């Protein structure tokens, strides 16, 4: 199946991050996913510019950066300078979403918009022409290791129809509870990019799990 895999560093071993980044570099994964949490928009704090900058020095795959923070406009250029190739902001955190995604693109990054589980994808109708990707959160954001919310499949299907009917060049990404058991159904429902962290880094063979998520045999 023709889909991308973005490996989430939130589940990596931060005592040996270079080793895990090298594993991803050498694997079949397509992107490296970085979750930025501020402890305000979500009830957790992850990492910021120094980590992104160091990962960028090591990475041979594009950095797929997801901002789960309030007032993301303050930091768009900083994340560009730190090395983000794709920058996704939360719909719920942006007062002027069109202005935000326009600035992301002006800076030379691909622009994504993420929606939380309770946010209808119908609210994205007017922004779809101006973005490159929609990230559907399939768990409540903030912590890894959660179970995928079943209602997510309906949202994916609805968004896929919206995109296809208007022939927009917009990818659908999903994040939260992704593993080898549900990945195929997600792709068949209309997903282009799978984000996986715990199911990869907590497995006995992370590179092998990446291969399985890419092949979906």
Q: Residues with Cβ < 8 Å from 48, sequence gap 6 or more?
A: 36
Mean pLDDT of the chain: 96
Q: Give the up-direction half-sphere exposure of residue 135: CA atoms within 13 A in the CB hemisphere.
A: 30
DSSP designation for 165? H
**Nearest residue to 9 (alpha-carbon basis) of 212, 193, 195:** 195
Distance CA 141, CA 176 (A): 8
DSSP designation for 192? S
Supply angle C-alpha 11, 173, 212, rounded to 5. Answer: 60
Instruction: Encode pLDDT of 39-74 as tens digits.
Output: 999 999 999 999 999 999 999 999 999 999 999 999
Give the mean pLDDT of 16-32: 97
Domain interval for residue 45: 4-215
Distance CA 112, CA 119 (A): 15
CATH of the domain at 74: 3.20.20.70
Q: What pLDDT score was predicted for residue 85? A: 98
pLDDT above 80 for 84: yes
Give the C-alpha distances (Å, rounded to integers) separating 183 from 9, 13, 42, 85, 191. Answer: 19, 23, 25, 24, 9
Q: What pLDDT score was predicted for residue 141? A: 82
Give the pTM: 0.96
Catalytic center residues: 35, 175
Specify the number of domains making up the chain: 1
**Percentage of residues of the chain with pLDDT beyond 70:** 99
């Amino acid at each position: 199946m023709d889909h991308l895999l973005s490996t989430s560093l939130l589940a990596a071993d931060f005592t040996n991050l270079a080793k895990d980044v090298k594993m991803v570099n050498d694997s079949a994964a397509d992107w490296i996913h970085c979750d930025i949490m501020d402890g305000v928009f979500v009830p957790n704090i992850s990492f910021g510019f120094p980590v992104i900058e160091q990962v960028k020095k090591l990475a041979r795959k594009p950095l797929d950066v997801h901002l789960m923070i309030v007032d993301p406009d303050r930091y768009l250029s900083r994340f560009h300078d730190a090395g983000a190739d794709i920058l996704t902001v939360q719909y719920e955190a942006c007062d002027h979403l069109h202005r935000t995604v326009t600035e992301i693109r002006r800076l030379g990054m691909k622009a994504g918009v993420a929606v939380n589980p309770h946010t209808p994808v119908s609210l994205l109708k007017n922004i779809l022409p101006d973005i490159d990707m929609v990230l559907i959160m399939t768990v409540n954001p903030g912590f890894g290791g959660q179970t995928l919310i079943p209602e997510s499949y309906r949202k994916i299907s609805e968004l896929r129809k919206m995109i296809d009917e208007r022939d927009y060049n917009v990818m659908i990404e999903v994040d939260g509870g992704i593993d080898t058991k549900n990945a195929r159904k997600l792709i068949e429902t209309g997903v282009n990019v799978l984000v996986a962290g715990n199911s990869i880094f907590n497995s006995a063979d992370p590179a092998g799990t990446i291969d399985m998520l890419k092949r979906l045999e």
